[in-house]
Structure 1
Amino acid sequence: MKIHRLEFTQKIPVDLDTAWDFFSSPLNLAEITPKDMTFDVTSPNMANTKMYPGLIITYKVSPLFGIKLDWVTEITHVKENEYFIDEQRFGPFAFWHHQHHFQSIDGGVLMKDILHYSVGWGVIGKVANGVIVNNKINEIFNFRYKKVESLFGKM
């Protein structure tokens, strides 16, 4: 199984507490996800929930071709105002491990996402990743970059 690694960084002109409060709220993920993915958090009672180890979050998402899929992630590690990690338990990937890092810098916060994923499916998955999946993931993170910039400003 081939594991792919992607890294995305963004500087945000807010203090660390503001960045952490926004990104550690599961409901805000929908706000920074492209609308055509129809991303819906289906876990009950998430309104005031912040990330904690063991938190299970369920979603309905349409990553490709409008097909609705269930996606279940678990927050496995949290160090407040520094990082949290989500791992897929059920969903479209054979493997998904997503680190969210936050670091205070002059004038704001450096946010870094480190994603390890695998499509699975052998040769078919390799082709799908090269033709569709990798491009779609990059498209999602480019959308997030622009959306975060529109919410918090440029740095």
Structure 2
Amino acid sequence: MPRIVLKTEIEAEIHIVFDLSRSIDLHKISTEHTNETAIAGKTSGLIELGECVTWRAKHFGIYQKLTSEITEFKKDEYFSDEMVSGAFKQFKHEHHFKNTNGKTLMTDYFDYISPFGILGRIVDKLFLKKYMTALLDKRNQTIKEFAESEKWKTVLDR
């Protein structure tokens, strides 16, 4: 099972970074290049424990749907989302947050299993892991950009 680990240091308060990370609206902004939109479940605002969102996005030239659910949640520390249905055989994305000297360290653990057995494992090695890492990094850089400026106020209702 491939695992992607990303660490992003953000000069912002932990509660802002945590909320931006679970913002459906900011996720849409970070994935504009894939035409990603929330089409069912929680479609805007902050997603909470037990809530689901269904995304529609264009990856590799094909529109796909993916539904994930928030399965674990500890305010300002941790949450995870897991695929309910979609292109992967399985995935779990853990989001961890830690206050470090006035900054926030955001750590992502993305574990997934591709469909199609051995063929899926070959696709992982050839390009899928790199593609997913770039997608997650783009999301994290968007969170960082918004958190470190006043832009977060346009997404979060405070």
Q: TM-score, normalised by structure 2?
A: 0.85
- Secondary structure (helix, strand or coil) at the match of 2:81 reads strand
| Count of aligned pairs between the two proteins | 149
1:15 equivalent in structure 2: 13
Runs of 4+ in 1 over 3 A off after TM superposition: 44-50
Q: Which moved more, 1:9-18 or 1:140-149?
A: 140-149
2:4 equivalent in structure 1: 6
1:133 equivalent in structure 2: 128
Identity %: 21
List alignment gaps of at least 5 residues for structure 1.
Answer: none
List alignment gaps of at least 5 residues for structure 2.
Answer: 150-158
Distance in 2 between residues matched to 1:142 and 1:73, nearest whole Å: 19
| C-alpha RMSD of matched pairs (Å) | 1.8
- Secondary structure (helix, strand or coil) at the match of 2:9 reads strand
1:40 equivalent in structure 2: 37
1:57 equivalent in structure 2: 53
Change (3 A) 1:55 1:145: closer
Distance in 1 between residues matched to 2:131 and 2:112, nearest whole Å: 13
Q: 1:123 aligns with which of 110, 118, 123?
A: 118
Residue by residue, what CA displacement relative to the aligned partner does 1:71-123 show, whole Å, maximum 9, x if unpaired? 10011010011111100011110010000111111131000000110112112
Residue by residue, what CA displacement relative to the aligned partner does 1:48-88 show, whole Å, maximum 9, x if unpaired? 44322x111111011222x1111100110100111111000
Letter matched to residue 16 of structure 1:
I
Q: TM-score, normalised by structure 1?
A: 0.87
